[in-house]
């Protein structure tokens, strides 16, 4: 199976980075990174560059095809930016990754994460996940259901796929 793309978002696209991770794609974002450094990392480490800065894309001659990139139109909300990128690259939804750091989520027992989960949630929920990177705990509550519905609409051909 082909390895999924990994993304590096420019300094304006932090919200998009979080949505990409929720859709299952590793996405880096560094608000302080300089343009040249951003392009160099994409070139050397194989990231797909996402940018709303057409000047940046021209300055570094990305159009010549050295760095794979997608121009993200201005004026879109992050979830619309996600829909644009997924559509351009025809990306399917994948298992969600940590929205904070982009690492994989591992299914865990409640007993392993009890100290991180509010008592009300412990009573109602059965499926818990922990980020392999930062340790953040997730569960399939109403907040996640809302995110998942938006992801399904953002995916190519979106909206009707199974949950």
Q: Give the strands of the sheet with 27-29, arranged side by side.
A: 27-29, 7-9, 48-51, 69-71
**C-beta of 103: minimal distance to Zn ion in Å?**
5
Indicate the residue among 31 and 74 with the shorter CB distance to Zn ion: 31
Indicate the residue among 7 and 71 with the shorter CB distance to Zn ion: 7
**C-beta of 58: minimal distance to Zn ion in Å?**
34
Please list every residue from 12 through 41 that binds Zn ion, using CB under 5 A.
Answer: none
**C-beta of 79: minimal distance to Zn ion in Å?**
20
Indicate the residue among 89 and 101 with the shorter CB distance to Zn ion: 101
Number of Cα atoms under 13 Å in the Cβ half of residue 118: 5
Indicate the residue among 25 and 71 with the shorter CB distance to Zn ion: 25
Distance of CA 109 to the CA centre of its chain: 25
Distance of CA 104 to the CA centre of its chain: 11
**C-beta of 101: minimal distance to Zn ion in Å?**
3
Site string for Zn ion, 68-107 (x = CB under 5 A): ------------------------------x-xx-x----
Tokens for 65, please give them: 């095809």
**C-beta of 98: minimal distance to Zn ion in Å?**
3
Annotate 59-114 with DSSP letters as a single string: HTTGGGSSS-EEE--TT--HHHHHHHHHHHHTPPP-S-B-TTT-PBEEEE-HHHHG
Please list every residue from 119 through 148 that binds Zn ion, using CB under 5 A.
Answer: 131, 133-134, 136
CA distance 139 to 154: 21
Whether the CB-CB separation of 67 and 60 falls below 8 Å is answered with: yes
* Binding site residues, Zn ion, CB under 5 A: 98, 100-101, 103, 131, 133-134, 136
């Amino acid at each position: 199976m082909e390895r999924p793309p990994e993304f590096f978002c420019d300094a304006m696209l932090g919200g998009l980075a979080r949505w990409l991770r929720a859709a299952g794609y590793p996405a880096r974002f560094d608000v302080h990174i300089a343009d040249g450094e951003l392009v160099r990392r994409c070139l050397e480490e194989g990231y797909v560059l996402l940018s709303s800065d057409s000047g940046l894309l021209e300055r570094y001659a990305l159009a010549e095809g050295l760095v794979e990139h997608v121009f993200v139109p201005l004026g879109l909300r992050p979830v619309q930016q996600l829909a644009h990128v997924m559509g351009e690259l025809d990306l399917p939804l994948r298992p969600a990754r940590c929205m904070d750091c982009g690492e994989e989520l591992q299914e865990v027992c409640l007993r392993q994460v009890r100290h991180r989960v509010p008592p009300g949630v412990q009573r109602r929920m059965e499926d818990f996940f922990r980020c392999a990177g930062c340790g953040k705990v997730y569960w399939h509550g109403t907040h996640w259901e809302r995110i998942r519905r938006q992801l399904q609409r953002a995916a190519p051909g979106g909206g009707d796929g199974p949950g």
